[in-house]
Amino acid sequence: MSFLDKDVKEFTDILASKAPVPGGGGASALVAAIGMALGNMVGSLTVGKKKYADVEDEVKQLMEQGDEVRANLLKLIDADAVAFEPLSKAYGIPKDDPTRDEVMAKALKDACAVPMDIMREIGKAIDLIDRMSQIGTAIAISDAGCAAVCCKASMEAASLNVFINTKSMKDRELAKQLEDEANDLLVRYTNKADKVFGDVFTRVRG
């Protein structure tokens, strides 16, 4: 059964248990999806308002893109669980088994792929939220700030799931490639999320 079929209580109960999945990757994807949903809520409250008629078409486009990003993030919750299971089993292979290195290499690569995808989607979400915070209705500006904070935390969390796996890779060239991209996404988008939050905070505090 997909984790998307669980209600909030069921999901968090499993998350709190000894079960290997969902873990940090799935949690980061879910929190980012919530952040993107908040961003689109700003759009929903903007569309149809005469005051924002001149930006309505752009807001609708942002919302359409946001729906796609949110759907992708939700799919990645299950994808992360699927990718982690082989890695969990690979760690149990005896160190003197001749197949261990090959199995581990593939498992680590696959386990890195999903959190990298999560980070890429979060970057898209933060870009959309940034723009929505600029042109969306002022009555929901605090929600845009909340959206940015959720996505920043998710970006940081997803990066940890990349780095913990690249650390174990024997293929250091691949590890560096993944780490460089993750670092770039992390720096660029946490800074952008901080800017959104700072701008919103200033507007809310007056």
Give tens-digit pLDDT for 67-77.
999 999 999 99
Count of beta carbons in the 10 Å neighbourhood of residue 97:
10
Query: Is 150 inside any structural domain?
Result: yes
pLDDT of residue 90: 86
Interval 35-55: pLDDT, tens: 999 999 999 999 999 999 999
151 located within any domain: yes
Contact 74, 95 (CB under 8 A): no
pLDDT for the residue numbered 103: 92
pTM confidence score: 0.95
Domain count, the chain: 1
- pLDDT of 191 higher than 90: yes
Summary mean pLDDT of the chain: 95
pLDDT of residue 196: 98
d(CA 110, CA 161): 12
CATH number at residue 187: 1.20.120.680
Give, in order, the Cα–Cα distances in Å from 12 to each of 21, 29, 157. Answer: 11, 14, 17
Residue 85 confidence (pLDDT): 84
pLDDT more than 90, % of the chain: 89
Residue 121 lies inside a defined structural domain of this protein? yes
pLDDT band at 20 (very low <50, low <70, confident <90, very high): confident
The rounded distance, in Å, linking the Cα atoms of 85 and 28 is 18
Any domain includes 2: no
Residue 113 falls within a domain, yes or no? yes
145 inside domain: yes
How do residues 91-108 score in pLDDT, each as one tens digit? 889 888 899 989 999 999
Instruction: Tell me the average pLDDT across 147-153.
Output: 98
**For residue 1, pLDDT beyond 80:** no
Question: Do 193 and 155 meet the contact criterion of CB atoms below 8 Å apart?
Answer: yes
Question: Quick one: pLDDT at residue 168?
Answer: 92
30, part of any domain: yes
Is 1 part of any domain? Answer: no
Q: Domain range spanning residue 15?
A: 8-205
Output the pLDDT for position 88. Answer: 83
